[in-house]
Amino acid sequence: NAGVTQTPKFQVLKTGQSMTLQCAQDMNHEYMSWYRQDPGMGLRLIHYSVGAGITDQGEVPNGYNVSRSTTEDFPLRLLSAAPSQTSVYFCASSNRASVTGELFFGEGSRLTVL
Amino acid sequence: KNQVEQSPQSLIILEGKNCTLQCNYTVSPFSNLRWYKQDTGRGPVSLTIMTFSENTKSNGRYTATLDADTKQSSLHITASQLSDSASYICVVSSLPGGSYIPTFGRGTSLIVHP
């Protein structure tokens, strides 16, 4: 049981380049989300999805796009990378039917934008 | 606005000593409070969950308390070990089943020295 898998683990981009961070989960969770973690800022929600075909914005959505075509996958796209997007990105999933709402996190993707 | 404040921001203790981390929240309506442990370079992992009716819950050497009246929680670590060195994040959910947008604290960074 792999849980939540993120790829790549590390990426370096130049300003203006685009890329996609991949996230896949094998727990059949309806809820999936993307966070960024910056020093001293804690985890901040970028986008989330409560099921296939449904996405919504979180606290810091600008510069990022998401889609949810399947229950398992929730990719995060950076359309034109900026140095301010240098961060560690975490994908998390949750069982929507659970009364406890535990989030299961991936191992993170460290992105550097030069 | 829902907020979660954690203190101290960082803490250094000697191996074998006890310590207590604090979490104050202004999240309403309250559903549950979770403590997550995040090892360096890894994703957060849930340690314990507290619901409104619970005052104390233990998970090995970790004991969480909740005072719903004062909206405060604490995480007590007994007989600390080097492996306890990590960031501890308090997360409060405001809907049954867990909010789709949980509120995160910024974490307490704990370093345990031999």
**What do you get for the CA distance between the two ends of chain B, in Å?**
41
Compute the mean pLDDT over every residue in chain B, rounded to the nearest whole number: 92
Whether A31 sits inside 8 A of B100 (CB atoms) is yes
* Chain B contacts to A (CB-CB under 8 A): 31-32, 34, 36, 41-46, 49, 89, 91, 93, 96-102, 104-107
DSSP structure string for B36-55: EEE-TTS--EEEEEEETT-S
Beta carbons of B100 and A48 less than 8 angstroms apart: yes
The alpha carbon of residue A104 is apart from the nearest alpha carbon of chain B, in Å, by 7
Per the prediction, chain A carries an average pLDDT of 93
Q: Which residues of chain B are within 8 Å of residue A96 when distances are taken between CB atoms?
A: 97
Q: Is the pLDDT of residue B97 over 60?
A: no
Are A107 and B42 inside 8 Å of each other by CB? yes
Gap between the Cα atoms of A77 and A18, Å rounded: 7
Whole-number pLDDT of residue A1:
65
Confidence of residue B98 (pLDDT cuts 50, 70, 90): low
pLDDT at B1: 81
Mind telling me how many Å the CA of A103 is from chain B's nearest CA? 8
3-state secondary structure of B2: coil
Nearest to A25, CA basis, from A84, A75, A77, A61: A75
Which of A6-20, A86-100, B10-24, B69-83 is least confident?
Answer: A86-100
**pLDDT score for A101:** 78
Please indicate whether, in this complex, the C-beta atoms of B97 and A101 are within 8 angstroms of each other: yes
A105–B96: do the CB atoms touch at under 8 Å? Answer: no
